Amino acid sequence: MIITPTHLEGCVVVDLQLREDDRGFFARTFCRQEFAAAGLEPVVEQCNLSFNHRAGTLRGMHFQVAPATEAKLVRCTSGAVIDQVVDVRPGSPTYLQTFAVELSQANRRALYVPPMFAHGYQTLTDAAEVAYQVSEAYTPGTERGLRHDDPALGLGWPLPVSVISDKDAAWPLLGQGPS
């Protein structure tokens, strides 16, 4: 694996280091020791998979608060998505700063999302599939979210939103109630 830090402390892009031969390639997608050595939370509590029918589908911006904060390792296994995070760590020098990266079947890239980062993505293709490894079980009472279209965040989505859940569309704008 090739672990590349972003400008947001703890948020990294994970690229595969392919070992190729006549059969194809082999690559490690996760290694507890390498994650720990890079200062990342290596625990995997759950693995989740989402499938999205239409390009423009938006999922997010989600995070969990204590006692169930979670780190995520997100990879697009079919199609392509634009994946975005927002630092929501109180007191962080990069509080409310964002980072975006394209994850796709073609680039095989993953994004490590630290605890207390809001996370979401928009599908760039029909039939996009996204796999998540998460460090904490889904805990409904701790779930929070940010609006994907909050002008205070300035998240740039490349396509018009074609599908979004009622819950994701209803998160309050910053400063207008709990998120």
Please pick, among 7, 53, 62, 148, the residue that the annotation labels catalytic: 62
What is the reported pLDDT for 42? 81
pTM listed for this prediction = 0.94
The per-residue pLDDT for range 35-82, each reduced to its tens digit, is: 999 999 887 999 999 999 999 999 999 999 999 999 999 999 999 999
Structure tokens at 169: 């569309």
Alpha-carbon distance of 107 to 82, in angstroms, equals: 12
Distance between CA atoms of 112 and 3, rounded to whole angstroms? 9
Out of 7, 132, 138, 148, which one is annotated catalytic? 132
Query: Which residues of the chain fall short of a pLDDT of 50?
Result: none
Q: In the annotation, is 119 catalytic?
A: no
Q: Identify the pLDDT of residue 177.
A: 63
- According to DSSP, residue 163 is labeled B
Q: Catalytic residue at 62? A: yes
User: Which pLDDT score is estimated for 178?
Assistant: 59
Domains of the chain in start order, with CATH, are 45-169 (2.60.120.10)
